Amino acid sequence: MSSADSRVVQRTCPLCEAHCGIRVEVNDERRQVLGVRGDPDDVFSRGYICPKAYGLKGLQEDPDRLTHPLRRTDSGFQEIGWDEAFELAGSRLAEIKSAHGADAIATYLGNPTAHDLGALLYVQPLLQVLGTRRRFSASSVDQIPKMLSSCLVFGGVLTIPIPDVDRTDYLLVLGANPLVSNGSLMTAPDMPGRLRRLRERGGKLVVIDPRRSETAGVADEHHFIRPGSDAFFLFALVHVLFEEERVSLGPLAEHVAGVDAVRALARDFSPEVVAPVTGISAEVVRRIARELADAPSAACYGRIGTCTQEYGTLASWLVDVVNVLTGNLDRPGGALFPTPAASLGVIGPRTPGYVPYARWHSSVRGLPEFNGELPVATLAEEIDSAGEERIRALFLLAGNPVLSTPNGARLERALESLDFIVSTDIYLNETSRLADVILPPVSLLERSNYDILFHGLSVRNVSKFSPIALEAPENTRQQWEILLELTARVAGIPAAAVDEIVIKTILGSCVGGETSACPEVSEETARKALAEAGRDGGPERILDVLLRTGPYGDRFRGENGGLTLATLERTPEGIDHGPLLSQVPEILETASGKIELAPDLLVGDVERLRRGLAQRREAGGGGLVLIGRRQVRNNNSWMHNVYSLAKGRDRCTLLVHPDDAARHGLRQGERARLRSRAGEIEVPVAVSDEVMPGVVSLPHGFGHDAPGARLSVARERAGVNSNRLCDEQLVDALSCNAVLNGIPVELLPAGPGPRP
Ligand SMILES: Nc1nc2c(c(=O)[nH]1)N[C@H]1C(S)=C(S)[C@@H](COP(=O)(O)OP(=O)(O)OC[C@H]3O[C@@H](n4cnc5c(=O)[nH]c(N)nc54)[C@H](O)[C@@H]3O)O[C@H]1N2
Ligand SMILES: Nc1nc2c(c(=O)[nH]1)N[C@H]1C(S)=C(S)[C@@H](COP(=O)(O)OP(=O)(O)OC[C@H]3O[C@@H](n4cnc5c(=O)[nH]c(N)nc54)[C@H](O)[C@@H]3O)O[C@H]1N2
Ligand code: SF4
Ligand SMILES: [Mo]
């Protein structure tokens, strides 16, 4: 499709974790994206894309997308120059830090940070210079329960077993809808194809979900589960495995500690006892336990629905317990650990058994830190209720917490009260409109990238580099340049000096030192090789170091000796390093060097689960609760301004079971009021038996009618913000991840009525 005035660039789509290969046809002269297609040559995706990939063209061309810094003035936002913007942002942050201490500044990193190598690498020096312990991110409305359980059981926050979907004979999916989300903590382009092939080869797909999701629609079996009760269900599976003597660890046996403790814990959770609470019959639980044990290989997999709920950490843990007890952990067709070509985990010191948990606490509710972060469910109150200790300024990177975190209305009010907000974002949206300065980076196609996190969470070992597809316009900045310059201004040193500290730290972790990956390589040799390769700064230089010192790397011996960034640049379709391999015990970083199946922290939380079981049994089913719903053409809160994705009928509807609708006198298409402790919204009803009785479902990421936001397309189909109902007081007690599924709500007819 290349012609005289067009060019095709092969890279990956950076929108979701599937990371499909795309071919972007561009006209350099007009600086235009002519088209986006799936890349049939991509070693991983083989041409597959979802409709969102086409949205990249719309995103590139969106006149609302920001390209120049903005400053808030009394008469609205005004464009300012980069130097002025950096000076303002840097000096105000430095002033607030020196007047009120480092913890007066909070930081929030949003989800797209994880999809941008430059952001991931260069936010670190900024965080260090700011020195705040009030770091927040989208991780605590997402996967930190899994990170905490993985750290306790396997010894690393990113030592997460990935279901071997391409080889498994039996996939048990809880709280995930990969047909729509395209998979999460399971990077695999073309989930529809992979799940189809699983069934074509005689494998079985079983889905546990309060909604008959799109994935449930193609599964062999779907079972409705009462939201928030997965830990009971999983414990019941474990109960049966022990009771029927089906526990079989295989070669893992000598590497697992705590099996007896798990056996004892599971005693109280028989399928018969938990059935009234989960809504899944004892008979079904027993059969699934037997099938898991008998299958030649099987993988249990849980995602958002199992994390963003009352027992998120326990449910995340029990998923792995089931895999271990059935002998499926670390074996082909089960759940295994990837061997990524480059990893951020190698940076910094490592201490086996170290769990970065509860080293400090939030000041209002006393919620524990995990992995250097406080839970975002406590952000608003740390601003509006912490007195002299309060947060006074906020740095936002690629995040929209007003729409994506619980009690958006309270957070919005709290943000309005801050002394200073800097946002680095590509839109003037519900959150960035509250900023004093916005520093927009170049577009997603105008930056190079390497999926350093997601190659480490992938169902195959693959590596691929994405070159810049389209040259960025004059006078724009890469995300990493913005972060570097801001760091320099806050620190009062030149940007080049900061970049030197960064590379020095990376080289310190990767070469020379006794515990480094390449002790035999000196820093001097490494620097010489980097200079020869033309890597003089920025994220690509760091990536080259990580690749060359990684498991497939050339160890600075020259390319014939192994992988370098240059190799990847010459292999635009990516490199397939093969299927996941068994890695126990080498991968384990627990103090004992074993898989700790019953770590104290988790065992301690089982008492809460027991109490919850008794309460739920007593309550008998319980009242109406709210869950979320991802949709193919949404991407959390921020692709609704691309017309090709946003068009069509209203998707921000509340699914209500026919019985519940009848009980509340609601009919299809009518508007209803939905009320929780946190707030109240009005929303159109879609009556559907897709959801189980007692459960209503609303997608998140809508509510685009904020005054002053520059979202001309999204505003037309604004929808409502479901996180006005999600309650910031509800967290998983252990990880303190927000509960976003299973929110108690009241359903009322629309119209005037008493306000909550
Ligand atoms: N009720 C409910 N709430 C949820 C969820 C749910 O299931 N239910 N899911 C949660 C999950 S899993 C997540 S990950 C979070 C996401 O939470 P957030 O990360 O806070 O929200 P996003 O909607 O992803 O917003 C991303 C922001 O980054 C901007 N952006 C996009 N690309 C770039 C870029 O390349 N650079 C920069 N600088 N900015 C960019 C967008 O304009 C937008 O403002 O939401 C969570 N919230
Ligand atoms: N199209 C699209 N794709 C996306 C995103 C997007 O916004 N849109 N977001 C991306 C992000 S940031 C992430 S983290 C991933 C998430 O990827 P997934 O985890 O696959 O996300 P969801 O589609 O929200 O699936 C969660 C499922 O859990 C169910 N559920 C809710 N509560 C419970 C419960 O208590 N128990 C059980 N068993 N199930 C429950 C819901 O009904 C839903 O079907 O998706 C990514 N991909
Ligand atoms: S599934 Fe869609 S959004 Fe996700 S990477 Fe592939 S094309 Fe992009
Ligand atoms: Mo997410």
630 lines ligand 2 (CB under 6 A): yes
Do residues 680 and 599 share a domain? no
Ramachandran angles phi, psi of 495, nearest 5° = -60, -40
Residues lining ligand 1, Cβ inside 6 A: 110-112, 116, 138, 141-142, 304, 397-401, 404, 424-427, 429, 441, 444, 479, 628, 636-638, 700-701, 722-723, 726, 740
634 lines ligand 2 (CB under 6 A): yes
Specify the CATH number for the domain of residue 630: 2.40.40.20
Nearest ligand 3 atom to the CA of 51 is: 2
49 within some domain: no
Question: How confident is the model over 273-310, as pLDDT tens digits?
Answer: 999 999 999 999 999 999 999 999 999 999 999 999 99
Do residues 731 and 631 share a domain? yes
* Among protein residues, the one whose CA lies closest to atom 7 of ligand 3: 49
Residue 3, pLDDT score:
64
* Among protein residues, the one whose CA lies closest to atom 4 of ligand 3: 16
Do residues 596 and 709 share a domain? no
Do residues 266 and 226 share a domain? yes
Nearest ligand 2 atom to the CA of 52 is: 1
Of 603, 635, 668, the last residue of a domain is 603
627 lines ligand 2 (CB under 6 A): yes
Residue 558 CB neighbours (<10 A): 12
Question: What is the spatial distance between Cα 723 and Cα 381, in angstroms, rounded to a whole number?
Answer: 16
Residue 349, pLDDT score:
80
Q: Could you tell me the residue range of the domain that residue 671 belongs to?
A: 623-749
When divided into structural domains, the chain yields a total of 2
- By DSSP bridging, strand 595-596 and strand 256-257 are parallel
182 lines ligand 2 (CB under 6 A): yes
Both tokens of residue 52? 């969102």
Question: What is the spatial distance between Cα 479 and Cα 319, in angstroms, rounded to a whole number?
Answer: 37
Residue 752, pLDDT score:
62
Question: How confident is the model over 490-513, as pLDDT tens digits?
Answer: 999 999 999 999 999 999 999 998
Mutation test residue for ligand 2: of 182, 184, 190, 322, the one with most atoms within 8 Å of CB: 184
Nearest ligand 3 atom to the CA of 22 is: 7
Listed as ranges, residues in the chain with pLDDT below 70 are: 1-4, 752-756
The helix (run of H) or strand (run of E) holding residue 567 is: helix 565-569
Both tokens of residue 630? 């991802």
Residue 756, pLDDT score:
41
Residue 79 CB neighbours (<10 A): 11
- By DSSP bridging, strand 437-438 and strand 420-424 are parallel
Give the helix ranges, DSSP H, for 595-732.
600-619, 643-646, 658-663, 712-716
Of 571, 603, 635, the last residue of a domain is 603
Distance of CA 161 from the midpoint of ligand 3 (Å): 22
Do residues 599 and 699 share a domain? no
Task: Indicate the pTM of the whole model.
Answer: 0.98
559 within some domain: no
Question: What is the spatial distance between Cα 388 and Cα 410, in angstroms, rounded to a whole number?
Answer: 19
36 within some domain: no
Best CA proximity match to 414, nearest among 377, 456, 379, 439: 379
Do residues 599 and 634 share a domain? no
Structural contact between residues 37 and 49, judged by C-beta atoms closer than 8 angstroms: yes
Burial of residue 389 (CB within 10 Å: 0-12, 13-18, 19+) is: middle
208 lines ligand 2 (CB under 6 A): yes
Do residues 596 and 670 share a domain? no
Residue 535, pLDDT score:
96
Do residues 598 and 633 share a domain? no
Do residues 682 and 597 share a domain? no
Specify the CATH number for the domain of residue 312: 3.40.228.10
Residue 78 CB neighbours (<10 A): 10
Distance of CA 168 from the midpoint of ligand 2 (Å): 22
Residues lining ligand 3, Cβ inside 6 A: 13, 15-16, 18-20, 49-50, 52-53, 182, 189
